[in-house]
Structure formats: C-alpha cells, structure tokens
Amino acid sequence: MVLGEGDRDQAFINALCCDRQINDLAVGFVGGNSNFGQYLEGISALPKFSQCKSILLVSDNDESAQEAFDTIREQLQEIDFPLPSKPLEMAKKRDYPSLAVMMLPYPTPNPDSRGALETMLIPAMKDSHPTQAACLETMLACAGVSNWSKKSSQDKAFVRCLISSVWENDPMHGLAFCFAPQKNLIPVSHTCFDEVAQILKSFVAWSDSAEKSWSSWHDKNEKIET
Amino acid sequence: MAEAAGTFGVVLTEMGHTLMYAETQEVSLDAPTHSTENSHYLMINRLEIKNFRCYKDLTLSLKRFNILVGKSGSGKTALMEAMFMLGGSSPEIYFRIRQWRGFSKTINLTGTREQYQSLFRDLFYNFEQETGAVLQSSDSESGSRRLEILYADSKEYRLDLKNPEPHAFTLSPINFKWIVDGRVHNTSISFIEGKFTISGAAPVAPLAYYNPFNFSAVENANAFSSLSRRFRSTSLVKAIATIFPAVKDLTLELIGGEPVLCVETELDQKLPIGALSGGVNKFVTIALAILSNPYGTVIIDEIESGFYYADMPFVWTALVDLCMKEHVQLVVSTHSAEFLKAAAPILAREDISKESQLLRSELDDNGRHTIRRIPSRSLEAATSMDFEIR
C-alpha cells in the first residue's frame, strides 16, 4: 500500500505505476501530512488489513526535510506503528505491516532538499512544454514569485501557471487530473521519475527482504533502468 | 424449585409455567456467594469456546465495553449465546435460546433417538455432538466458570414398551456440567416416559442477555420494583431524562391487574412506558439490566433497534456512565454504522479507551470463524473517516 498526502500524490503515483506497469500496489491518500497517524489507525480496523504486508508513506519535505519527516515519525510513534529512523528505511514490528517513508522531492536535489511533489514534476513539464516554461520563468520572476521564501510555494505556482498556459480547455484543471498520457501535460515516462519508479517497483520485494535501507537493498539487487 | 438469584430466576419461572414440557427435580441450594446478584463477580476477562455452534476453537479477551459487529451468519449471536449459557444455571437455558432463534415454544417428539438428538445437534460445531462442547471463562477476580455439554455415556437404557411405534433405540441424556470455581454441578436433560426432565442446577452468574425478542414488561416491572424498594431508582430516572427530557418520573401502577411501569410526563395522566415510546422502553430495559446486575455482565443483541439515530450518542453516553458507576461489563452487537459512529468517540474517551474494544466476527485465513479485536482508538479513527469496518 502507498499512501500520499493528497489526491494529487495519489494521482501521480497511480499514473507512474500505470506507465511503468507496477501492479502490486494499492494507492491512497490521507488528506494532509498531519493525518497519516489517524488514517493508519483507521485502516488498521478494516477487515482486510491483515492482507496488507507493507506500507509506503509519501510526504513532502516542504521547507524542512527533517521537520517534515519528524512530523510523520511522531504520528507513527503515537499510534505505536513501526518506526523508521530515517526516510527510505524499512521498519518492522510484529503483527504490523512493514513501513517505510519516502520524502519528496526524490531524489533530493543538492544542496536544497526543500520542496514538494511539484518540485519533482517541473523538469518533466519543462521538457514537455519548453516554450511556455521559459515564458513562465520570466513572468514569475517579474511577479516576484521567485523571491518567495517557500520553495514549495514557488514550485506550486510554476506548475499551476504552466498547466493554465497549456490546457486551453480548462486553465483551472486540477493537478490530480493532469497525469493522463493523452493530455501530455506531465509525462510520467520522463527519466526524472525513474528513481521513484524503481522504489515503487521494488517496494514489495524490498519489504520482504531483510535489508533495512533502500540503498543497501538497491545496491544488492538492482540497477536503475533507464 | 428455589429461584436462582438474578435475572434468570425470574424468566425461568415464567417459562416454566407457560412453555415447557420440563420438570426440574433438583436444585443447588448452596450457590457460592460471589455469583449472587449482589456479589463481587466483576468482569469476564477471557472466554474460551470449543466445538460450539460455528466456533471450533476460539479464545477471546474481553474488556468492559465490547461492541460486536460482523456479517449475518458470522457468529455474533453464537458468541453471545455462549456467554449466556455459560452464566446459566440449568439446561432449560438452551430451550430459551432455541425459542429466540425462532423455534416453536412447544416440542413434539416421537421418542426416537434421532428426533431427540436433533434438538441439540446445532449446538455443536459441525454437528459433531460426540465431541461435546466446552465453554469456559475466567474473570478479573480469578474466578472461573466452565460448561461442558455432552451426551452421557449411559450404561442403562430405557425402552418405552408402551410406545406403539416399533423402535430399537437408546436415548442418552444430554449433560450440562457446570464447574464454578472448581465445584462441579451436574445437570441434565433426559427424555423419560414421554417427558423432558431437567435435573440439577448450578449457581447462576449475574449476567443478563437481551435480544429483540425477549424484552419483557413484566421483567421490567419486577426489576424496577426491586430497585425502588432499595431506593435505587433515582439514577434510572435521571438517566432517562438525559435522553428523553419529557420523562419526569417512573412509577409502578396497576393496569388491568398487572403491575406496569409508567412514566410521568406533561400529560395529566401517567402513561405505560411502552405507550410513550419504544426507544424509551428499550432504554429503560437496558438501564434496569445494568442497575440490577452490579459487578455483572449485560449482553445486548442489536442494541440500535428502537433508537432514533440522533439519540444514539446520548443513549450510549448514558449507558456507559451507568456501567462505570455500577461496575458492569457491557457486550453489545450492532449492524448500525450510526450506532458505531456515535459510540466510537465515547469509547475513545481517555478514562475508558483502554477498557473498550470493537470485536468483529469474521473468517480467518483457514476459513474458520474467529473474532478479531480492534482497539477503541482504531474504531474512532475508522468511523471518523467513514471507513466500513462492520
């Protein structure tokens, strides 16, 4: 099971899984990064929950990767669920599904780890619509958006503007609906998503293994397919 | 027969007069004190069921507040029946359950073994009556109770030579052996000379079981009278008023020669409680059961029936508060999402969350009936997000 913060995360992961033919994951969203704990507690009461063997939580770094991850850890601790000590570490506990957390953007652009899902989408959107992207960068700089303190806000503004400038049928088209391949708004086949796709594709196998960290599992088992 | 203390004694007398082909010949007169109405029975912690109805082998931990959900036919009523029978005193309890299950009040037998055994066959898992059934519980005061149901291995056989029907059969009595804190109480049902005969009795437990079929106005009147004599009816009136503010007082009145529980409202005459509202009547019945069984267990099947959906949070709050005050354990079943949604935040209250749980009857990986326990916090989280957990 993969749980994101919102419906946009769910739509992105579903689209990526469909594109890369990853079929063994159920994808949902919890309604905000402060709802992971309550959501997990709630689904643990569902009749089929025992069939869920592993859970991947997907959340945004926003302005502080550490703070964002700690927010999730606190919630997991509160509900007594398996507790990873860092992102992409598999935590296991008896009578619970294995659990790992992936923070976005992934992979983290150095040195700035700030951002959100939208941060990851921008390279693919720029490659897909380079003309509009170039204009928008100028426009947003002119409008002062590039001076905003919050990186995730800057990136969200860029994504919103690009969608509006490309999708004439509905400039207000919600991000969750922009991943359909025929729309060519956000091509999930882009290589910038390869590493996330690799994690999703290997998640079940990784969770079944004894390897705690993704990097050690990955080093032992796979090369990134490009 | 001496009446056993508690709810069962009253119902048994009523049933004995009107329904049964049974005669009770012996009773146990030296019931241990901790199983009487005013005893320190406390809470059933652990229940074990073997070979009973749909349960081959089940072990279950119980808390003070237990809500039971599950699909139809998944074993909810069987679980409650197990607790009820375990707390009983005599095999007649089985005939009561049978009636609640929809069987006729009268039993006509031709006297063959097959007919006799067919009465009891569905008690046993997979109809394996040779194995017998065992129900067992332990409570928070280290007390224990065990019921073994098995046909006797009889060395003598009765042949009714007067019976014109040709037959070659043997009838073994079915034994209900209660073991209460190590003391054995043998009881049995046998079929002698065309009549059921029930012999023996065990100490009854302070346990009441209500389902949509066995609410009784007479029992309510008796229970209220018992409370009123001991000046304990005030808390009942207060509890009712929190949900049904129109009710100012409760009294027993004679109507048509019968004692009837009546309510005082704004009207210029008192009303029989059943005429005021089915919901009030049901609430009173449950509240009386709680007040009449301090330190005991009250089991309610389909608790939501009769209650207006918007009243459910208040009903549940009032019942929980009564149970906390009277140290009563509550086991209720429900099909209602509204009831669950109303109950969940109350059960997640800090003072009682560790004493509450949801129990769901379901099939395990091997296809066997089992009960899954869900903590009250998970119940609250699930209902707040409208997850379907029934």
In a domain, B143, yes or no: yes
**What's the pLDDT at B332?**
96
Domain that holds residue A134: 117-183
Map residue A2 onto helix, strand or coil: strand
Tell whether A27 and A100 lie within a shared domain: yes
In a domain, B374, yes or no: yes
Tell whether B269 and B133 lie within a shared domain: no
d(C-alpha B36, C-alpha B26), whole Å = 19
> A45 contacts in B (CB within 8 Å)?
358, 374, 378-379, 381-382, 387, 389
Range of lowest pLDDT (A111-115, A181-185, B157-161, B332-336): B157-161
Q: Which residue from B minimizes the CA distance to A49?
A: B389
Tell whether A10 and A28 lie within a shared domain: yes
d(C-alpha B165, C-alpha B109), whole Å = 12
Q: Bigger pLDDT: B224 or A109? A: B224
In a domain, B311, yes or no: yes
Domain count, chain B: 2
Residues B139, B41 contacting (CB under 8 angstroms) = yes
d(C-alpha B216, C-alpha B166), whole Å = 44
Tell whether A9 and A58 lie within a shared domain: yes
Tell whether B223 and B200 lie within a shared domain: no
Tell whether B236 and B153 lie within a shared domain: no
Tell whether A174 and A86 lie within a shared domain: no
**What's the pLDDT at B155?**
56
Tell whether B192 and B234 lie within a shared domain: no
Cα of B360 to nearest chain A Cα, Å = 8
Tell whether A59 and A158 lie within a shared domain: no
In a domain, A53, yes or no: yes
> A47 contacts in B (CB within 8 Å)?
360, 362, 372, 389
Domain that holds residue B119: 7-66+74-205
Tell whether A29 and A125 lie within a shared domain: no
Cβ distance of B377 and A41 shorter than 8 Å: yes
Q: Looking at B161, B189, B205, which one is the last position of a domain?
A: B205
Tell whether A139 and A216 lie within a shared domain: no
Low-confidence ranges of chain B (pLDDT < 50): 1-41, 166-169
Tell whether B293 and B370 lie within a shared domain: yes
Cβ distance of A46 and B381 shorter than 8 Å: no
Predicted ipTM of the assembly = 0.85
Give the contacts of B383 (CB within 8 A, at least 6 positions apart). Answer: B337, B340, B341, B344, B389
Give residue A211's identity as a one-letter amino acid code.
Answer: E
Tell whether B244 and B171 lie within a shared domain: no
Tell whether B105 and B183 lie within a shared domain: yes
Q: Looking at B138, B170, B205, which one is the last position of a domain?
A: B205
Evaluated on CA atoms B164, B167, B170, B172, the torsion sign reads negative
In a domain, B1, yes or no: no
Q: What is the mean pLDDT of chain A?
A: 93
Tell whether A147 and A97 lie within a shared domain: no
Please count the residue pairs, one from chain A and one from chain B, whose beta carbons lie less than 8 angstroms apart: 36
Q: Please spell the DSSP secondary structure of A151-218, one letter per residue.
A: HHHHHHHHHHHHHHHH-TT-TT--GGGS--GGGTSS-TTSGGGHHHHHHHHHHHHHHHSS--BHHHHH
In a domain, A226, yes or no: no
Residues of chain A whose beta carbon is less than 8 angstroms from a beta carbon of chain B are 38-39, 41-47, 79
Interface test with A, best of B371, B386, B387, B388 (most A CBs within 10 A): B387
**What's the pLDDT at B18?**
26
Cα of B368 to nearest chain A Cα, Å = 15
Tell whether B54 and B133 lie within a shared domain: yes
Tell whether B53 and B148 lie within a shared domain: yes
Q: What share of chain A in percent tops pLDDT 70?
A: 97
Tell whether A136 and A217 lie within a shared domain: no
Cα of B66 to nearest chain A Cα, Å = 15
Tell whether B35 and B153 lie within a shared domain: yes
User: What is the domain-level CATH number for residue B240?
Assistant: 3.40.50.300
β-bridge mates for residue B139, sequence order? B44
Cβ distance of B358 and A45 shorter than 8 Å: yes
**What's the pLDDT at B99?**
83
Residue A4 pLDDT > 80: yes
Tell whether B191 and B298 lie within a shared domain: no
> B387 contacts in A (CB within 8 Å)?
42-43, 45-46
Tell whether A84 and A20 lie within a shared domain: yes
d(C-alpha B220, C-alpha B291), whole Å = 11
In a domain, B352, yes or no: yes
User: What is the domain-level CATH number for residue A195?
Assistant: 3.40.50
In a domain, A56, yes or no: yes
> B348 contacts in A (CB within 8 Å)?
none
Tell whether A104 and A163 lie within a shared domain: no
Domain count, chain A: 2
Cβ distance of B378 and A39 shorter than 8 Å: no
Q: Looking at B205, B224, B252, which one is the last position of a domain?
A: B205
**What's the pLDDT at B361?**
95
Cβ distance of B374 and A45 shorter than 8 Å: yes
Residues B330, B316 contacting (CB under 8 angstroms) = no
Q: Which residue from B minimizes the CA distance to A30?
A: B385
> B384 contacts in A (CB within 8 Å)?
38, 42
Which of B295, B298, B278, B275 lies closest to B287 in space, CA to CA?
B298
In a domain, B235, yes or no: yes
Model confidence pLDDT, tens digit, residues A194-225: 999 999 999 999 999 999 999 999 999 865 44
Tell whether A103 and A200 lie within a shared domain: yes
Tell whether B59 and B190 lie within a shared domain: yes
**What's the pLDDT at B197?**
78
β-bridge mates for residue B255, sequence order? B258
